[in-house]
Structure 1
Amino acid sequence: MFEVMFKELRELLRDRKTLFFVIALPIVIFPVLFAFVFFLTSKAALEAEQKVHTYFVVNEDYAPAFSDTLFYHRSFKRYQGEAQLDSVSALRDAVRQGIIDVGIYIPAAPDKQLALGEQSRFQVVFNDAQSINYIYSRIKKVIDTYSAKLTEQALSELGVDTDKQDAVLQPVLMEKVDTADRRENIGEKIGAFIPYMLIPLVLMGASYPAIDLGAGEKERGTLETLLLTPLTRTQLVLGKFLTILLSSIACALVTVSSMSIWIGLASGFGALDPILSAFASVTQWDFLLIFALLLPVAMMLSSLVLAISIYARSFKEAQNYMGPLSMLVFVPIVVSVLPNMTLNAKTAWIPITNVALAIKEIVKGTVDYQAVGMIFLASILLAAALLACCVRWFSREEVLFR
């Protein structure tokens, strides 16, 4: 069994393609890709924040104070064209044609409406389909400020002192007292996304060697020679399985190590200080526990991809099977981030979902070690069952030579 494993490892180390996907890709490509996406997102957000929007107010003489505020606002400039904009439909057409960015229709004078005990409804026309859009929030802030001034004037006319107006408008204030610490708060938000990186990488680290050790052997014609050796089918499968398992774990370890180095470099610029300070209490035992939870997952996925590779007639067919499998692995990870999904006696038996939930709880610092024990038991039992199926699959001649 170990002779087969060492033989397969030597062949994998000679395969540049496999080394690229297991070592080079996690070290270089993923961090660079994440940094590139972060750069593009930050650039788009900065451009959206600095953009000056063209606006037009219909009936601006009804609210001169509001119009003046918009006119002197650094993020808005008044439309100076000759288009006839006098209704909501005209504003809508102008926004669609790109003549203006936002139009505001004021139906009546707000101060007069307030004196009559009625509300004035400003209609804001803009395109909200853009991914990063600050128009509505900025207009709302100006309208809220203008509305607050009207409220202050109305209360003053009613004889309410200025220092008492806040209490009249909001008699009861709600003060938030959070029992969760900083680590738990950030861990709830970030810990759910860590499995999105680790578990697919475990699968990726197992897929490429498995395709080569199963379907690749068939294409090269070396499978028959391997079967003539004085080894049982179980020993052959276990040797290949251990090779794939080591590759899978190595890919995850390399990726996490690479990401930690990049995070450490980024922390020098101060961008990640809040997150790093929150994770300062994550101990080495917590990291070891996360990797320990990944081990049975790697065993399950290694057995599964090896069985698929043995069944496939060719290298290309095996690759076609790996695509849907990659998509299916994301389903239980998505389930783990659904609302009200917590680690308990029931979810501890759901494959992959249980590990994703446990990783999040570990990052939060609220992990239940009894549930972790159940996860180990469930994952190891499933991995053993899949490995047994893989051995049985490898023992069937019609599968090996189909």
Structure 2
Amino acid sequence: MWQVFNKEIKELIRDKKTLFFMIALPVLLFPLIIGSMAFISGNAIKEAQNKVLKFAITGEAYAPGLYDALLAAEDKFSLVDINGSDDYAALIKAQKVDFVLVIPESFEQNLFDAGQQKLSLYLNDASLNMVYNRVNELVEDIAKNRQLQAFQQLGVTDVQQKALLEPIVLEKQDVADKRENWGEKIGGMVPYLVFLLCFQGAMYPSSDIGAGEKERGTLETLLISPIARYKLVLGKFLTIAFAGGVSALITILSMATWGVILSQGMAIKFVAEFMSAISALDFILMFLMLLPVTAIFASVLLCLSIYARSFKEAQSYMGALVIFIILPIMVAMLPGVSLDGGWAWVPITNVALAMKELIKGTMDYFALFSIFGSTVLIAGGLIAFCVYWFNQEKVLFR
């Protein structure tokens, strides 16, 4: 068994593509994803905030103050002349204007006589254009001035104004700490990335170990060698599991390392506080929970690889398998799904939930017994099936 393992590891090390998916991808993926998301979203928001919006207005004579404010902000708004009979929606869809503001005749009337005023803002709100927010800032300023004038007319004091505007204020007293808050927000995405990287790390060597051996014609040589069939299977299984385990270890280390770099090197306070709250034990438990999951991946991948007639066919089977990994992780991200009850026994979902709880700092460590128990039991059953599968001549020589 160890001779087979040694042989497969040597071939694995020679394969640069496999090494990339085992080592380079986990190390580079976390900063790449975080950096790309921050860069793209930051640029998109900045562009939307700084873009000069083309606008048209009807009924400007009824709101000279608002009209003058729009014209004065030349670096934010640009006036476009239109006819009152034009189709506003067509103008916006044709990108001739970004928005059309329609002002009613009663806009400048006394607040007590006219009551609440409603302006119509026509815009395409399907994209990140921030049109509503930017126009609303100007409207809010005018509304606050009118509000103040009305209160002064009525002789209402500042204290009475607050009471009238907000008779009851519900103050939120959050008992969750920062770690739990941020863990709830990002904890569900960590297992998603980690599981896929572990699967990728195991997938490429498994394709070569089974289907690749068939294509090269070296499988027959192994089968006639004086090695028990189950030892041959276990040697190949350990190679795939080793590749997945290395990916899991590097992924966890990468997550911890880049968290420290972001918190210290970039001086991001909340990241520093969040990362310092996650102990080394939590990272070790994440890695240990991934080992039986990696064994499940390795068993299934080896069965598919030895069943496939070619490397390409094996890749097709394994690519389709990704959906069965994503779905249990997505279940773990749904509201109301937690480690309470039967979810602690559901494979993959239970580990994803446990990783999320470890990141949040709310882990019930007694649940680890059921998590490890169920995952190890399934992994053992799949390894046994893998040995049985490898003993079927109709599978080996399709």
Partner of 1:200 in structure 2? 196
* More divergent stretch after superposition (318-327 vs 12-21): 12-21
How big is the shift at 1:201?
0.8
| Matched residue type, 1:16 | K
Partner of 1:115 in structure 2? 112
Q: 1: distance between equivalents of 2:266 and 2:68?
A: 39
Partner of 1:280 in structure 2? 276
Partner of 1:209 in structure 2? 205
Deviations 1:328-354 (A, max 9, x none): 211111111111111112111221111
Partner of 2:240 in structure 1? 244
How big is the shift at 1:268?
4.4
Question: Is the CA contact (8 Å cut-off) linking 2:53 and 2:98 kept in structure 1?
Answer: yes
Partner of 2:219 in structure 1? 223
| Matched residue type, 1:324 | A
Indicate how the Cα distance of structure 1 residues 283 and 269 shifts in structure 2: closer, same or farther if over 3 A, else same: closer
Indicate how the Cα distance of structure 1 residues 337 and 28 shifts in structure 2: closer, same or farther if over 3 A, else same: closer
| Matched residue type, 1:147 | A
Partner of 1:54 in structure 2? 54
- SS of 1:109 mapped into structure 2: helix
Partner of 2:9 in structure 1? 9
Q: 1: distance between equivalents of 2:266 and 2:17?
A: 37
Partner of 2:312 in structure 1? 316
Segments ≥4 residues shifted beyond 6 Å: none
Question: Is the CA contact (8 Å cut-off) linking 1:186 and 1:275 kept in structure 2?
Answer: no
Partner of 1:24 in structure 2? 24
Question: Is the CA contact (8 Å cut-off) linking 2:106 and 2:114 kept in structure 1?
Answer: no
- Determine if the alignment matches structure 1 residue 185 to structure 2 residue 181: yes
- Determine if the alignment matches structure 1 residue 334 to structure 2 residue 333: no
Deviations 1:102-135 (A, max 9, x none): 11111232353743364322111111122x2211
Matches within 5 A, 1:121-160: 121-130=118-127, 132-160=128-156
Deviations 1:224-267 (A, max 9, x none): 11111222221111111111111001112223333444444433
Indicate how the Cα distance of structure 1 residues 286 and 177 shifts in structure 2: closer, same or farther if over 3 A, else same: same
> For the aligned residues, what is the CA RMSD?
2.1
Count of equivalent residues: 398
Question: Is the CA contact (8 Å cut-off) linking 1:52 and 1:76 kept in structure 2?
Answer: yes
| Matched residue type, 1:12 | L
Partner of 1:401 in structure 2? 397
Q: 2: distance between equivalents of 1:272 and 1:161?
A: 43
Q: 2: distance between equivalents of 1:31 and 1:78?
A: 40
Partner of 2:97 in structure 1? 100
How big is the shift at 1:83?
3.0
Question: Is the CA contact (8 Å cut-off) linking 1:108 and 1:120 kept in structure 2?
Answer: no
| Matched residue type, 1:313 | R
- SS of 1:346 mapped into structure 2: helix
Partner of 2:229 in structure 1? 233
Q: 2: distance between equivalents of 1:142 and 1:252?
A: 52
How big is the shift at 1:23?
1.9
Indicate how the Cα distance of structure 1 residues 125 and 344 shifts in structure 2: closer, same or farther if over 3 A, else same: same
* More divergent stretch after superposition (46-55 vs 364-373): 46-55
Indicate how the Cα distance of structure 1 residues 30 and 165 shifts in structure 2: closer, same or farther if over 3 A, else same: closer
Question: Is the CA contact (8 Å cut-off) linking 2:191 and 2:352 kept in structure 1?
Answer: yes
Indicate how the Cα distance of structure 1 residues 368 and 261 shifts in structure 2: closer, same or farther if over 3 A, else same: closer
Question: Is the CA contact (8 Å cut-off) linking 1:110 and 1:119 kept in structure 2?
Answer: no
Structure 1 portions without partners, runs of 5+: none
Q: 1: distance between equivalents of 2:321 and 2:274?
A: 35
Question: Is the CA contact (8 Å cut-off) linking 2:208 and 2:311 kept in structure 1?
Answer: yes
Identity score, percent: 43
- SS of 2:340 mapped into structure 1: coil
Indicate how the Cα distance of structure 1 residues 163 and 37 shifts in structure 2: closer, same or farther if over 3 A, else same: closer
Question: Is the CA contact (8 Å cut-off) linking 1:62 and 1:106 kept in structure 2?
Answer: yes
Q: 1: distance between equivalents of 2:23 and 2:92?
A: 50
Question: Is the CA contact (8 Å cut-off) linking 1:343 and 1:357 kept in structure 2?
Answer: yes
| Matched residue type, 1:129 | A
Indicate how the Cα distance of structure 1 residues 391 and 75 shifts in structure 2: closer, same or farther if over 3 A, else same: farther
* More divergent stretch after superposition (15-24 vs 376-385): 15-24
Structure 2 portions without partners, runs of 5+: none
* More divergent stretch after superposition (157-166 vs 219-228): 157-166
Question: Is the CA contact (8 Å cut-off) linking 2:30 and 2:254 kept in structure 1?
Answer: no
- SS of 1:369 mapped into structure 2: coil
How big is the shift at 1:150?
2.3
Question: Is the CA contact (8 Å cut-off) linking 1:26 and 1:254 kept in structure 2?
Answer: yes
Q: 2: distance between equivalents of 1:275 and 1:30?
A: 14
